[in-house]
């Protein structure tokens, strides 16, 4: 069984775009236009990952590892990178090392999206996804994949990219809204676009401490945020989600914790180091 730390979020990225950015594509549904979120800041973060079995029927017994992510701004968009390494222990007594690398870039006007994901097990590449999406004048998406195989898919209007997702949800949270539903193109090998149902809750967890130089992180760690509980349906006809992500996100865009729940195990992801990433003058 191959297990990957998914892009946590698929929520985070669009938050690093200017607050005035909206989707410019002609005919793009107003329900998908990014709402204005609180001011968010580029950063790099490291997390500890722990896997716990939630039932007796699954093959995974336990696991531990680490995840690193970084958001950077340029003058026309936002780049995201994520690397994770997990040691997975199975009920049959075997263990494997699972590594995932994700990189992506999205234009500030949501007109294009590039994505790449590579999964390895014990150092051997098991899957790769490489592609790009272009938003057409009517809001539909022209998605071109070069891996795992060359193909082109035309997707209907209304689908958002991962970076739009956070701006949309943080904007709704800041406006006091409590629920959302949307379709998301993640850039994964299967299950795209996913239907996503989100509940937005108050933040109740304590602020993290000892994650960096406190004098330099005050605006990144300001105590304002929300708990987002997102259910992902990769097959729209299904009544139960394929997985759920519950994550606490500060108004600065920093994820302090996330829990990814699958049918028979859950990943607990906790922040342990935070670093500021410079904002280019053109993006102020």
Q: What would the pLDDT profile of 192-202 be if each residue is shown by its tens digit?
A: 899 999 999 99
Q: Is 58's pLDDT higher than 80?
A: no
Q: Is the distance from CB of 47 to CB of 66 less than 8 angstroms? A: yes
Partners of 258 in the β-ladder: 247, 269
- pLDDT bracket for residue 211 (50, 70, 90): confident
Strands 179-184 and 159-160: parallel
Q: φ, ψ for residue 223 (rounded to 5)?
A: -80, 65
Residues of the domain holding 50: 13-283
Classify residue 166: in a domain, yes or no: yes
Question: With a threshold of 0.85, does the pTM exceed it?
Answer: no
CA atoms in the 13 A half-sphere facing the CB of 115:
26
Length of the chain: 284
> Domain total for the chain?
1
Residues 149-178 have a mean pLDDT of: 91
Q: Is 63's pLDDT higher than 90?
A: yes
Please give the angle made by the CA atoms of 198, 200 and 206, to the nearest 5 degrees: 130
- pLDDT bracket for residue 213 (50, 70, 90): low
Closest CA to 10 of 210, 225, 191, 154: 191
pLDDT value at position 257? Answer: 94
pLDDT value at position 154? Answer: 96
Other Cβ atoms less than 10 A from the Cβ of 35: the count is: 16
pLDDT value at position 12? Answer: 31
Classify residue 79: in a domain, yes or no: yes
- pLDDT bracket for residue 284 (50, 70, 90): low
- In angstroms, the Cα distances linking 222 to 84, 116, 126, 217, 227 are 27, 32, 40, 8, 15
Q: Is 181's pLDDT higher than 70?
A: yes
User: Token pair of 90, please?
Assistant: 């199975």
pLDDT value at position 94? Answer: 93
Q: Is the distance from CB of 32 to CB of 22 less than 8 angstroms? A: no
Q: Is the distance from CB of 105 to CB of 116 less than 8 angstroms? A: no
Q: Is the distance from CB of 116 to CB of 20 less than 8 angstroms? A: no
Q: Is the distance from CB of 223 to CB of 207 less than 8 angstroms? A: yes
Classify residue 7: in a domain, yes or no: no
* CA 61 to centroid of chain Cα atoms: 25
* Structure-model confidence comparison of residues 222 and 127, the more confident one: 127
pLDDT value at position 34? Answer: 44
pLDDT value at position 17? Answer: 27
Q: What average pLDDT is seen over the chain? A: 83
User: Token pair of 259, please?
Assistant: 């829990």
Condensed to tens digits (0 to 9), the pLDDT of residues 229-262 reads: 999 998 776 788 989 999 999 888 899 999 999 8
Residues 84-102 have a mean pLDDT of: 93
* Structure-model confidence comparison of residues 25 and 206, the more confident one: 206
Partners of 98 in the β-ladder: 86, 121
Condensed to tens digits (0 to 9), the pLDDT of residues 110-140 reads: 999 999 999 999 999 999 999 999 999 999 9
Percent above pLDDT 90 for the chain: 56
Q: Is 61's pLDDT higher than 80?
A: yes
Classify residue 5: in a domain, yes or no: no
Partners of 92 in the β-ladder: none
pLDDT value at position 32? Answer: 40
Percent above pLDDT 70 for the chain: 83
Strands 124-135 and 141-147: antiparallel
pLDDT value at position 281? Answer: 78
């Amino acid at each position: 069984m191959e297990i990957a730390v998914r892009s946590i979020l698929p929520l985070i990225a669009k938050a690093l775009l200017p607050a005035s950015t909206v989707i410019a594509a002609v005919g793009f549904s107003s329900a998908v236009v990014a709402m204005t979120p609180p001011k968010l800041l580029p950063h790099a973060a490291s997390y500890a990952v722990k896997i716990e079995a939630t039932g007796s029927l699954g093959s995974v017994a336990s696991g531990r590892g680490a995840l690193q992510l970084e958001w950077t701004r340029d003058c026309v968009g936002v780049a995201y990178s994520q690397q994770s390494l997990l040691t997975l222990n199975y009920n049959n007594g075997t263990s494997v090392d699972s590594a995932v690398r994700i990189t992506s870039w999205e234009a500030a006007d949501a007109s294009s999206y590039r994505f790449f994901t590579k999964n390895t097990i014990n150092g051997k590449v098991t899957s790769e996804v490489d592609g790009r999406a272009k938003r057409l004048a009517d809001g539909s998406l022209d998605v071109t994949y070069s891996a795992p195989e060359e193909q082109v898919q035309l997707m209907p209007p209304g689908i958002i990219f991962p970076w739009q997702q956070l701006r949309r949800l943080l904007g709704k949270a800041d406006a006091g809204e409590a629920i959302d539903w949307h379709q998301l193109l993640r850039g994964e090998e299967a299950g795209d676009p996913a239907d996503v149902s989100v509940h937005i809750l108050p933040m109740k967890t304590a602020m993290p401490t000892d994650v960096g130089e406190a004098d330099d992180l005050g605006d990144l760690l300001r105590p304002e945020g929300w708990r987002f509980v997102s259910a992902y349906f990769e097959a729209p006809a299904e009544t139960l989600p394929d997985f759920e992500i519950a994550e606490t996100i500060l108004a600065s865009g920093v994820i302090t914790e996330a829990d990814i729940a699958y049918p028979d195990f859950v990943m607990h992801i906790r922040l342990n180091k935070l670093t500021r990433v410079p904002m280019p003058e053109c993006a102020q």
